Amino acid sequence: MSDHDHQTISAETEAVSPRFADLDTWPAGDIVASLVEAQIAAASALCAVRPALAAAAEAAADRLTDGTGRLVYAGAGASGRLAAQDAVELHPTYGWPAARLILLLAGGEVALARSVEGAEDDAAAARAAVAEHDLGPSDAMVSLAASGRTPYVVAAAQAARDRGALVIGLANNPDTALLAAADWPILLDTGPEVIAGSTRMAAGTAQKAALNVLSTTIMVRLGRVYSNLMADLAASNAKLDRRRIEVLRRIRPADEPAARAALDRAGGGIKAAALILAGLAPDAANRLLDRHGGSLRAALGEVEAPR
């Protein structure tokens, strides 16, 4: 790689890369090859920040472990839509309660489907939203903006941190206001886009991957995974109901009728159902889980401990 190429790769996301000049004249195969290469490189950008991702996830889990704190996402435009996508998956996948999830999206829900003029520049709206939700020391925020300068997102991060909430900041440009506002700044260094300034591409891929890693690690650390199984999986449709049975039978081997009966007695909770299959009554199973902060591994360990 030449010095010039290195300088291009490390430039800001809005920079125009000479490597892709005259892209509109290229054959489709070459365009696709360049885009695929850029997507792979974007995901690889996470390798450099693995320690930061781990530390940030651990810190967020510590804030949320008391059972009252909220997980908050703050974003605008394409980054905000990625944040929303990550957020809405937390309940079906990990049973994360809706009451403990907040999405601060510039322009509100309407911005999920279309651009809202000027919303990302409305810092006052972000500060008002943080105050309205009364964010505080038990809450953890994941804020993201490719540029690292989006006024709505920066203001949300600053206001949340001022109120004592933990703030994780994801940006694709160095030395930016969002990273400065965060307790845990994470730079996803994806450089200029194939299509100059189209940060939904490489920057967006890195953001989506980082969100996957952060939220999954947080949920694992909060005991919402047993082994590598979704122990708090919510049943919102027939497919997920079937999956709950399969997960339970992997945790505690049982025939299907017994597993379904245990789930019914547990009110649908996989963890309590596993303890019921281990011989506990439903009330005792729930009390044991509460005593161990929802950790099924710890609860089963107590049940199976030698007398």
Over residues 248-305, the pLDDT tens digits come to 999 999 999 999 999 999 999 999 999 999 999 999 999 999 999 999 999 999 988 7
> Mind listing the pLDDT tens digit for each residue in 177-218?
999 999 999 999 998 888 888 888 899 999 999 999 999 999
Domain with 168 in it: 46-221
The pTM score is: 0.90
Q: Are residues 208 and 79 in the same domain?
A: yes
Instruction: Report helix, strand and coil shares of the chain as percent, to nearest 5.
Output: 55, 10, 35
Phi, psi at 142, each rounded to 5° = -110, 115
Q: Which of 14, 37, 89, 132 is catalytic?
A: 89
Tell me, what's the pLDDT at 36? 95
For the chain, give the mean pLDDT.
92
pLDDT of 10 above 80: no
Percent of the chain with pLDDT over 90: 80
Q: Are residues 298 and 204 in the same domain?
A: no
| Rounded Cα gap, residues 75 and 153, in angstroms | 6
Where does a domain end: 191, 221, 251?
221
Where does a domain end: 161, 190, 221?
221
Q: Are residues 58 and 200 in the same domain?
A: yes
Known catalytic membership, residue 304: no
Known catalytic membership, residue 89: yes
103: nearest Cα among 72, 145, 133: 72
DSSP state letter for 69:
-
54: nearest Cα among 169, 163, 211, 214: 214
Give the model's confidence band at 170: pLDDT under 50 very low, under 70 low, under 90 confident, else very high: very high
Count the domains in the chain: 2
Give the model's confidence band at 307: pLDDT under 50 very low, under 70 low, under 90 confident, else very high: low
Looking at the domain assignment, is residue 30 inside a domain?
no
Looking at the domain assignment, is residue 19 inside a domain?
no
Tell me, what's the pLDDT at 211? 98
**Which residues make Cβ contacts (< 8 Å) with residue 62, sequence separation at least 6?**
none
Helices marked H in 133-255 — which ranges? 151-162, 177-181, 202-221, 238-251
pLDDT of 159 above 80: yes
3-state secondary structure of 212: helix
Looking at the domain assignment, is residue 27 inside a domain?
no
Q: Are residues 188 and 292 in the same domain?
A: no
Tell me, what's the pLDDT at 5? 33
pLDDT of 221 above 50: yes
Q: What is the CATH number of the domain that holds 110?
A: 3.40.50.10490
Looking at the domain assignment, is residue 18 inside a domain?
no
Query: What sign does the dihedral 231-236-237-238 (CA atoms) show?
Result: positive
Tell me, what's the pLDDT at 2? 31
> Mind listing the pLDDT tens digit for each residue in 13-62?
888 888 999 999 999 999 999 999 999 999 999 999 999 999 999 999 99
Q: Are residues 214 and 110 in the same domain?
A: yes
Where does a domain end: 193, 221, 249?
221
**Which residues make Cβ contacts (< 8 Å) with residue 117, sequence separation at least 6?**
none
232: its two tokens? 């708090």
Rounded mean pLDDT, 121-139: 97
Q: Which of 12, 120, 246, 302 is catalytic?
A: 120
Looking at the domain assignment, is residue 25 inside a domain?
no
Rounded mean pLDDT, 78-89: 96
pLDDT of 86 above 90: yes
